[in-house]
């Protein structure tokens, strides 16, 4: 495989074939993210992508899923993306699902019909980084999209038939807007109604604008109990028809895996026990991105 730069993928794609079709992220401005700093976004040549598919055809016969790396594969022009999906279907017929990151920008660039065609050609799940449903915080972190656009694009992906996994970020709003962020994020998640939600706890990365703000005393990093209280408010404000809400990422202080709405009250009770000191939280040295 021809890998360039930082290769990232969702935790649920740990055992997938990682096919890098783009390098970097087309936006690359989010103040908390250091993954692609200094990396110019580009789509890899078709010849390289097809060679990697041939490599997977020979050496990756046990993996049943494939993930299109890096941060913005969906932005590839429709004809080229369809050719890649067609090659995956022909050369890797045992692959049952193809996934990709799907941000508001790339979803907005595709029509509903185009997304539906991609779905028919094997693209089964999109991973959207919402981070927050609070417009003030979205602007502060330079996400490049409003809450309403996030809702519209999430609903568009769902209408096209994609499964949708949405990531939210505990602590990203700081202390003053913590509860506003939690409740607004619950509202956006409820409006999109994704199959999966993954909550991560903010870990500051040296070299990012948000880390610089923290060091300058302009951005407060929440204490573990404050992050947990934020998570509680977020889950309380989230109404899914039948979705999994995960907060079991390595960055989180309390691992949670809940099916909403069935497990909602039990999950809130679990968080309350942790907030009252009856359940130990993960120590700082065990947290990781």
Structural domains of the chain, with CATH: 11-278 (3.20.20.70)
CA distance 105 to 174: 25
| pTM score of the predicted model | 0.94
83-122 residue pLDDT tens: 999 999 999 999 999 999 999 999 999 999 999 999 999 9
| Residue percentage of the chain with pLDDT more than 70 | 100
Tens of pLDDT, residues 131-155: 999 999 999 999 999 999 999 999 9
Burial class from Cβ neighbours inside 10 Å (0-12, 13-18, 19+) for residue 66 reads: buried
Residues in the chain: 289
* Residue 235 · residue 258 · CB < 8 Å: yes
Band (pLDDT 50/70/90 cuts) for residue 21 is very high
pLDDT band at 37 (very low <50, low <70, confident <90, very high): confident
Contact between 135 and 173 (Cβ < 8 Å): no
């Amino acid at each position: 495989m021809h890998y360039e730069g930082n290769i990232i993928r969702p935790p649920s794609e740990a055992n997938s074939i990682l096919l890098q079709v783009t390098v970097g992220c087309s936006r690359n401005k989010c103040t908390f993210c250091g993954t692609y700093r200094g990396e110019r976004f580009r789509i890899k040549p078709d010849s390289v992508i097809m060679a990697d598919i041939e490599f997977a055809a020979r050496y990756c016969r046990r993996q049943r899923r494939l993930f299109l790396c890096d941060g913005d594969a969906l932005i590839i022009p429709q004809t080229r993306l369809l050719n890649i999906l067609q090659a995956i279907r022909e050369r890797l017929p045992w692959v049952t699902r193809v996934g990709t990151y799907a941000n508001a920008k790339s979803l907005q660039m595709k029509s509903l019909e185009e997304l539906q065609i991609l779905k028919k050609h094997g693209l089964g799940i999109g991973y959207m980084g919402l981070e927050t449903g609070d417009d003030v915080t979205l602007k502060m972190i330079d996400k490049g999209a409003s809450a309403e656009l996030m809702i519209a694009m999430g609903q568009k992906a769902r209408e096209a038939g994609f499964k949708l996994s949405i990531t939210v970020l505990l602590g990203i709003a700081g202390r003053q807007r913590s509860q506003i962020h939690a409740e607004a994020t619950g509202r956006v998640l409820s409006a999109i109604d994704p199959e999966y939600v993954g909550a991560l706890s903010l870990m500051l990365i040296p070299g990012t604008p948000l880390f610089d703000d923290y060091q300058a005393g302009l951005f407060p990093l929440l204490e573990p109990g404050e992050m947990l209280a934020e998570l509680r408010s977020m889950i309380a404000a989230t109404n899914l028809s039948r979705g999994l809400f995960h907060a079991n990422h390595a960055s989180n202080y309390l691992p949670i895996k809940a099916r909403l709405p069935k497990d909602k009250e039990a999950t809130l009770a679990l968080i309350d026990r942790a907030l009252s000191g009856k359940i130990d939280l993960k120590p700082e040295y065990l947290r990781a991105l």
